[in-house]
Amino acid sequence: GTILLAPFFIHDFGWGRGAFYAIFHAISAFGNSGFSILPKNTAEYVNQPFVLAIIAALVIAGSLGFLVWRDVLLYQKTHRLTLHSKLALVMTGVLIIGGWLLFELTERNLAFASGLSPVMRVFDTLFMSISYRTAGFTQFDVGGLGSATILLTMMLMYIGGTPGSTAGGIKTTTLGVLILQTHAALRGKKDVTFAHRRLTQENIMRALLLVCVSLVFLGILSFMLMLTQSHAANHGLEYVIFEVVSAFATAGLTLGLTPHLTTFGQLVIMLAMFIGRVGIYTVMFSILNVHDEAAPYRYPEESVIIG
């Protein structure tokens, strides 16, 4: 990544600074941290597809996770991928393409507002789909984007990257398991299958628990910020929720609340970032000392009405 980025940065900033910028942004992109020391962030290269393509490739590489890359790199020798890698690759591709098409729909006037050519508009929305979900590199002022784009960005950030990667969120495989479970339930199937394999009920229950706990966690943190941050009172609900979801996803995007956070608000955001990076399950089973208990007896079964 550094070698590929270096010619562009050296051309614009000279040998010393250009080489340092290349190293810094290669690490930042692969680490999905989204930090940029360019004068205008990646907006500096909004009309240079090669720079954005290199950064996007590094972001994808980091967000896929080391377990997936191990399977991919050893495929020539093993001729197989684990179920985890297959689901992660499929979900990553679906999220990138799906996010790209939806950003094309929500930001129809992007070319006119930013002076982009139609081709660059398409490429920049693709970069948005890749970067906004996990990394947070941005070529535009996020606060100037449409409400539908902001909602879509929050949804993508909440999903995040793949387990074992440098990204946060509930992870792509969690969403994949829930989609497979929903599909099986709607078709009246008891078994949840993917790539000629049957998922365990423990796998499905863990995915459901992760989503429920994360939503409650984000709701509590958002409520705390709304109560304590006076600056947020003059803005919409999305102003605070976007900040919390972005922190949980370690994406680093903001609508403008970050510079105005009080000390308590900073602690709330730091907590969201810590749990988003470490993982809710790690916190539950390690820090909170949550563990499975085998009950000595079981009660009789009975159903309740749902829906």
Q: Where are the domains of the chain?
A: 31-287
> For position 9, what pLDDT does the model report?
93
> For position 109, what pLDDT does the model report?
67
Residues 6 or more apart whose CB falls under 8 angstroms from that of 65 comprise 88, 161, 162, 163, 164, 165
Between 286 and 246, residue with greater pLDDT: 246
pLDDT digits (tens, 9 = 90+) for 136-188: 888 888 878 888 999 999 999 999 999 988 888 999 999 999 999 999 999 98
> For position 294, what pLDDT does the model report?
73
CB 189 within 8 A of CB 143: no
Burial of 117 (0-12, 13-18, 19+ CB in 10 A): exposed
- Is the pTM higher than 0.75? The answer reads yes
The mean pLDDT value of the chain amounts to 88
CB count, 10 Å around CB of 119? 10
DSSP lists the bridge partners of residue 41 as 39
Average pLDDT rounded to a whole number, residues 239-260: 90
CB 277 within 8 A of CB 62: no
Max mean pLDDT range (109-123, 132-146, 210-224): 210-224
Average pLDDT rounded to a whole number, residues 38-54: 85
Return the structure tokens found at 242. 């976007």
Q: Among 82-96, 97-111, 125-139, 156-170, which stretch is predicted with the lowest mean pLDDT?
A: 97-111
* Distance between CA atoms of residues 128 and 135, nearest Å: 10
pLDDT value at 23 more than 90: yes
> For position 110, what pLDDT does the model report?
66
Band the pLDDT of 256: cuts 50, 70, 90: confident
Residue 222: C-alpha distances to residues 153, 227, 253 (Å): 17, 9, 16
Give the alpha-carbon dihedral of 182, 188, 192, 194, to 10 degrees. -90
Band the pLDDT of 215: cuts 50, 70, 90: very high
